[in-house]
Structure 1
Amino acid sequence: MASNTATLGNLPSGLGICTTFPDLLYFPELLFGVLVWILVACTYVVPHNPQGWVMFVSVFCFVLTFIWMCVFACGGHRNKSSWAAADFVYHFIATVFYLSASVALAKVTLDVKTNATFQVYQLDISAVVFSYVTTLLYFIHTILSAYRWKSF
């Protein structure tokens, strides 16, 4: 009888993405990423450029993570070695993007602390916290994807 679960050395498909640890991180990545997206969209900050980068990163990573999760759920990966490498590369890029966005968001939040209302400042602080949590989730997924890739 075939099992739907996968070990660290195998790429999951179907409901296996809901039972393996590195792939189980897709759901919190999506959840915290959309929270960053919503919180940044709720605030109005004068330097638009860093906020625009944060919005781009959160939307870009949300969409690509959702597509990536759907590819694995539908079993669209055939050559396991190249998909394991692509999984590592994608999560590494997402980690770097989110880290740069988190640093920019924290800098802007500190800069506008005196000019913002307390409610806007709280939203910005929440966005910074969720952004760093999302960065950590993508980083953990990157490390585990690297282990999985090297096990092939």
Structure 2
Amino acid sequence: MDRAAVVSGRRSPSGPEYNVSTSTLAFDQDFTRTGKGILLMAEIVCGMLVWILVGGTEYFHLPALCWVMFVAILCWVLTVCLFIIYLTGAHKRIPQVPWTTLSLCLNCSAAALYLVTAVVDALTVNQAIRGRHNYNCWAASAFFAFLTTLCYAGSSFLSYRAWKTTEDEQ
């Protein structure tokens, strides 16, 4: 080893140096400020409240509420996945997937499913005995199901506009 390197405490590089950080995904903090990002976050929060409020009760005795749980959890998981894809910019890294069409289909399907779910939830609450301890949770879940339906309808509108724009460009 070179005497200058020993005295200064530095070693001369024995081989090529590699850049360890090679991440291609990045957090897009501006996405959370867009209409699409805000609606996705609202869908996640309101959808989570629906399945938490129903899941904390003895919903399995009522088949209608089992449907509510199925739709709420399915849509919530798919929405969280889509949010992560947009938040990390993965949709830009995988151009083979028609993201605008996929987002449009997901949002329209979720809006339709949640509309049916909200009505089923509200009708179940209406039939429930008002004095039962689960009544308030089911009533709150019906409210948040309708709110989630509105969020998905708004996302459907934004997705349709984005889809129409990409269709016109082609």
Tell whether the 8 Å contact from 1:88 to 1:146 is kept in structure 2 after alignment.
Answer: yes
1:48 shift after superposition: 2.4
Structure 1 unaligned regions, length at least 5: 1-12
1:45 shift after superposition: 4.6
Aligned to 1:109: 125
CA deviation profile, 1:4-37 (whole Å, cap 9, x unmatched): xxxxxxxxx8223212112221111111111101
1:106 shift after superposition: 0.9
Tell whether the 8 Å contact from 1:81 to 1:149 is kept in structure 2 after alignment.
Answer: no
Tell whether the 8 Å contact from 2:60 to 2:66 is kept in structure 1 after alignment.
Answer: no
CA deviation profile, 1:36-76 (whole Å, cap 9, x unmatched): 01110122257522111110111111111111111112222
In the alignment, residue 109 of structure 1 is paired with which amino acid?
Answer: V
TM-score (norm 2): 0.74
Q: What is the aligned counterpart of 1:96 among 109, 112, 129? A: 112
Count of residue pairs brought into register by the alignment: 138
The runs of 4+ residues in structure 1 deviating greater than 4 Å are none
Q: What is the aligned counterpart of 1:32 among 24, 31, 46? A: 46
Higher relative contact order (CA 8 A, sep 6+): 1
1:57 aligns with 2:71: yes
Q: Distance in 2 between matches of 1:81 and 1:44?
A: 41
Structure number with larger C-alpha Rg? 2
Q: What is the aligned counterpart of 1:121 among 135, 139, 159? A: 135
In the alignment, residue 37 of structure 2 is paired with which amino acid?
Answer: D
CA deviation profile, 1:88-132 (whole Å, cap 9, x unmatched): 111001111111111111111111135x42x42111111110110
1:44 aligns with 2:47: no
Q: Distance in 2 between matches of 1:29 and 1:90?
A: 12
Counting aligned pairs with the same residue, the percent is 28
1:82 aligns with 2:95: no
1:141 aligns with 2:149: no
TM-score (norm 1): 0.82
